[in-house]
Amino acid sequence: MAIRVLIADDHAIVRSGLGMLINAQEDMEVVGYAADGKEACEKAGELHPDVVLMDLSMPPGENGLTATARLKGTAPDIQVLVLTMHDDEEYLFRVLQAGAAGYILKSAPDVDLIAAIRSVQKGMAYLYPSATKSLIEEFLQMVKSGEEQAKYEILTEREKEVLVLIAKGFSNKEIAEQLTVSVKTVESHKAHIMEKLHLRTRPDLVRYAIKKGWLDFE
């Protein structure tokens, strides 16, 4: 039986090209297309594909992360393979946290994409090789004798609030408005958080929150 694939990408020419590639495989067929995450979830509910090939960024519609989390919540048996141009460990962890079974770069060779679809359809995780090293290194850091939990416990309640809002992508100004404090106060909290957790950049904070499971993508 052919692997049924739904393609979600905001560019029509990309959808068409991927469709021709996948339909050329004897063991695959494209059952539908979607231009954003919302449409992808709707089409998946109607068509029941085995695999959704999900673009990560689909402006101005619903993005692939949000759609993946929503789809896995309603149809956990459908496998999601995220297709992205971002070769960055931050995106890798966000993709896995959202429930995707795999992650592959748009720059990957056609043969790797086809192999990835076959892998996730069988229930196996697929990580594009350039992402694997980052995942292993970050995982090893996570399991260092409960160190992360100990660090988190030294934060004040307000610092915890600020950390989660930063990780969710809010700017210092937006955080200040939500917490009814000044931007300077938010910056001070951020500096204290980074000092206590021994982190250096905003992406570091995002990765830390994702690894701890404090974010959702609903």
Q: What is the pLDDT of residue 218?
A: 44
Q: What is the pLDDT of residue 99?
A: 85
Q: What is the pLDDT of residue 138?
A: 58
CATH of 3-132, one of 3.40.50.300, 3.40.50.2300, 3.40.1160.10, 3.40.1190.20: 3.40.50.2300
pLDDT band, residue 124 (cuts 50/70/90):
confident
Average pLDDT value for residue range 104-115: 92
Q: What is the pTM of this model?
A: 0.63
- Please give the DSSP secondary-structure letter assigned to residue 80: E
**pLDDT (tens digit, 9 = 90+) per residue, 43-60?**
999 999 999 999 988 877
- Share above pLDDT 90 across residues of the chain, in percent, rounded to a whole number: 42
Alpha-carbon radius of gyration of the chain:
19
Across-strand partners of 80? 52
Q: State the fold for domain 144-212.
A: Arc Repressor Mutant, subunit A (1.10.10)
pLDDT band, residue 132 (cuts 50/70/90):
low
Of the listed ranges 36-40, 82-86, 196-200, the least confidently predicted one is: 196-200
Q: Where are the domains of the chain?
A: 3-132, 144-212
Residue 55 three-state SS = strand
d(CA 140, CA 106): 28
Cβ-contact 86, 106 below 8 angstroms: no
